[in-house]
Amino acid sequence: MDIAQVINKYRECGQKITPQRLAVLKALEGDRSHPTAAAVVEKVHRDNPYISPATVYRVLNELAAMGEIQSLALKDGTTRFDPNAEDHAHLLCERCGRIDDVPWTVTAGALPGSLSMGYRLNSVQVIFRGVCPRCQGESVTPAGL
């Protein structure tokens, strides 16, 4: 995620660059951990304790709607956010919850025209589920992700 590009996109849409939006952008910048909204709130609060969790959630949803971040809805009801909005898939460890990016292109993951059933595809989200190398050697109860 390029903060300058996101700021320009906000401005092009007639939106202001508020301190709250900027704080969320900075919290996400370079974060490859695929944080939950709560983790982003915690990171934002380190320098900006006055920003409400509701505001952070709203900004995360704005960014996802703008296509600047990816929103990953997991089986356990949690949502994780990925500032890497480029085409890629995810590897999810079902034991510890770790998420890693893996190269994947929309053309490689898109449905052939005959299988699209008339849908016009806007995006593809692929999550491969398994057990990460670290957890393969541990005896851990699956987290239900």
Angle at 84 between CA 66 and CA 46, to 5 degrees: 90
Domain-wise residue ranges, the chain: 3-73, 86-136
DSSP string, 32-78: -S--BHHHHHHHHHHH-TTS-HHHHHHHHHHHHHTTSSEEEE-TTS-
Written out in words, the top-level CATH class of the domain with range 3-73 is: mainly alpha
Q: Are strands 88-93 and 99-103 parallel, antiparallel or unpaired?
A: antiparallel
Among 3.30.1490.190, 3.30.1330.10, 3.40.640.10, 3.40.50.10860, name the CATH number for the domain at 86-136. Answer: 3.30.1490.190
Count CB atoms within 10 A of the CB of residue 4. Answer: 8
User: pLDDT of 30-76, one tens digit each?
Assistant: 999 999 999 999 999 999 999 999 999 999 999 999 999 999 999 88
The 10s digit of each residue's pLDDT in 91-140 is 999 999 999 999 887 665 567 767 778 787 777 788 999 999 999 986 54
* Residue bearing tokens 């380190």: 46
